[in-house]
Structure 1
Amino acid sequence: MAASNYTLCDTYASVTVAASTLTGASTLILDCEARDLGCTNGVLSIISISDVDATTIFLIDALALPDSSHPAFTPLFDLLRSEAVTKLMWDGRADALELREVYGVELGGVLDLQLAEVVSRRNVRGEKDDFRRRRLATGYFREMALDISRNPGEYDGIYQVSGMNAALKARNIRDNKDATVLDLQKAQGSGIWLERPLPETLLRYAAHDLSLIAMLYASFMRGGWIKENNVALLKEQSARYMRTFRTREIKDLFDDSKVAMFVPLHVLEAPPGNAQLIECLWCKQQLPLRCFTVRRDAGRVQQRSTLCKLCAALAKRDSEGSRGEWVAV
């Protein structure tokens, strides 16, 4: 998995070669680099794509190839859209938004490893609801441990996601990312991805991310977190996860309100086909009634919060802004 071996595609002809090389693969790895990926200020820089082992890596220079209608992109976009070709990603929500906004490409066949890690907690590792609440009480909601204990129903279905570094550490995978790039991003921000020509250190960094995803995938497979009988469900859940950021404005909103640190409440369990969907006042997700706290007022009229349980918990934690209102069901 030597991520130093990559091909930079900065001509349309080289994109054709990349797509031709990867066509026929049943599983690919996909990642993007950008300034402020998915945000209103976002500018896509690099589309990184490889085979399942990250031994054949292509870095497609989006800035050098601005003509999204060029026929050289057609076979590549077909691969990205294909439900039959699995795309391994780590938190691909913003990547999916960039590809949709820039190229009009709706990703298909995504298996998001960040989501797979969350699903494995309950379905493979056997973590019960009390352990899930303990994660919340020792994580982002650590100041609210008492409230979680007293009002467990208000935290139903809330899962905090793990970052890639935490997942690598948990699976005993050494992350040898270039520290100089990490320092550069801290000092100058993600705008460094708009430099041209891109320094080789950044290109190697982008390629290395694919090798990390490859190692995590292999580890998840060995651990039984991903197996033949759960791939279809993981891909269904990942498809809902990929549609979380419908617009750049929603991505900004998720970042500002910290909702991005959690799995949206409709992702792990699909809403019933005939369910009435309600838009949460904060996160703007279309959710079934089960995702909202419901109560009866003094007149015994059933009411629901205008905030989903996740957003209501975040509002309670921060004690800032609107905590939503109660409306009749």
Structure 2
Amino acid sequence: MASNLDTVTQRLSTAKLEDKPAIIFVNNATAIAQLVDSLDGPPAVPPSIFIDLEGVNLSRHGTISIMQVYYLPTKCTYLIDVYTLRDECFSTPGRNGRTLKGILECDSIPKVFFDVRNDSDALYGNYQIRLAGIYDLQLMELATRSFSRRCVNGLSKCIEQDAPMSIQERLDWVQTKEGGLRLFAPEKGGRYEVFNERPLPDAIKFYCAQDVQILPRLWAYYDGKMGQRWRERMIAESRARVQSSQSATYNGKGRHMALAPTGW
């Protein structure tokens, strides 16, 4: 088993971004049902489902525009049009009656997020989805550090420091990131409402897809460095983050979000 996992980890670390297929935009009930069928009963080691969200004021007080799902077994990247489909995204069943909500709430199906807190807040506040089976990559990075664990790192810093990429891939990643930021980041002249434009601008599609495609590399890198004790702590704290994000007093903005969990 260990040698097989080592092989998988090595393959994840050396896979090229350009090897991945075209982005699939999911914006109707039929496509949702097909996606649910694809995600139902995936391999658990390594995790098969990697997720990120984009939206306007992403929280219980805002809206979800796009849910990005990268499915490792087929290397498919799905952009789910939550803004258009709303509840239909999560309630449309596949052939076996399973829904996307059911998959997100299933503890036996691992799902990987990077800093799950505000994503969970938005999913719970808007669609009453109680995430389960979560591995938080931000906590995985924290758990594998050999230096201070006082503060957590953001996704961009983790990608820059830890994601195995060639020089050209890094240049492409920066270019795609900057192209998206110019459209949605207010400090660069953009507006978050661009995530709700239909058709979705190509620069935003590529921005949405890019980071979720890199998450499996980060998972492989951190998982290879993590001992069992820290893995158990990471899973427990991932669960605690989800529970905290569902509380009435949760606040997903502020300097406290950069602090590591107590006792880490």
Q: TM-score range by the shorter chain?
A: 0.7 to 0.9
Report the residue type matching 2:112 in the other structure: L
C-alpha contact (below 8 Å) 2:60/2:121 kept by paired residues? no
Shift of 1:247: 5.6
Counterpart of 2:81 in structure 1 is 61
Alignment of 1:38-57 (within 5 A): 38=59, 40=61, 42-52=62-72, 55-57=75-77
Tell me: higher relative CO, structure 1 or 2? Use CA pairs within 8 A at least 6 residues apart.
2
Counterpart of 2:53 in structure 1 is 32
Q: Secondary structure at the match of 1:84?
A: coil
* The one of 22, 25, 28 aligned to 2:39: 22
Counterpart of 1:209 in structure 2 is 211
Q: Distance in 2 between matches of 1:185 and 1:120?
A: 33
Deviations along 1:59-112, whole A, 9 cap, x unmatched?
Answer: 111122123474338521111111111111111111111111222111101100
Counterpart of 2:142 in structure 1 is 118
Q: Distance in 1 between matches of 2:76 and 2:191?
A: 29
Is 1:102 the counterpart of 2:126 in the alignment? yes
Q: Distance in 1 between matches of 2:74 and 2:249?
A: 33
* Unmatched segments (≥5 aa) in structure 1: 133-158, 269-329
* Unmatched segments (≥5 aa) in structure 2: 1-16
Q: Could you say which structure has the higher helix fraction? A: 2
Counterpart of 1:184 in structure 2 is 183
Report the residue type matching 2:24 in the other structure: T
Q: Secondary structure at the match of 2:122?
A: helix
Q: Secondary structure at the match of 1:188?
A: coil
Q: Secondary structure at the match of 2:83?
A: coil
C-alpha contact (below 8 Å) 2:140/2:223 kept by paired residues? no
Report the residue type matching 1:44 in the other structure: I
Q: TM-score, normalised by structure 2?
A: 0.77
Percent identity of paired positions between Structure 1 and Structure 2: 20
Report the residue type matching 1:71 in the other structure: T
Counterpart of 2:106 in structure 1 is 82
C-alpha contact (below 8 Å) 2:92/2:100 kept by paired residues? no
The structure-2 alpha-carbon separation of the partners of 1:20 and 1:53, relative to structure 1 and needing over 3 Å to count, comes to closer
Deviations along 1:163-197, whole A, 9 cap, x unmatched?
Answer: 11211222254441412212222222322212122
Shift of 1:12: 0.9
Q: Distance in 1 between matches of 2:201 and 2:92?
A: 28
Is 1:259 the counterpart of 2:256 in the alignment? yes
Q: Secondary structure at the match of 1:47?
A: strand
Shift of 1:18: 0.5
Report the residue type matching 2:192 in the other structure: S
Q: Secondary structure at the match of 1:32?
A: strand
C-alpha contact (below 8 Å) 1:4/1:208 kept by paired residues? no
C-alpha contact (below 8 Å) 1:80/1:105 kept by paired residues? yes
Deviations along 1:274-304, whole A, 9 cap, x unmatched?
Answer: xxxxxxxxxxxxxxxxxxxxxxxxxxxxxxx
Backbone CA RMSD of aligned residues: 2.5
Q: Secondary structure at the match of 1:217?
A: helix
Shift of 1:235: 1.5
Counterpart of 1:238 in structure 2 is 238
Q: TM-score, normalised by structure 1?
A: 0.62
If you compute each CA radius of gyration, which structure gives the higher value, 1 or 2? 1
Report the residue type matching 1:119 in the other structure: A
Q: Secondary structure at the match of 2:129?
A: coil
C-alpha contact (below 8 Å) 1:54/1:214 kept by paired residues? no
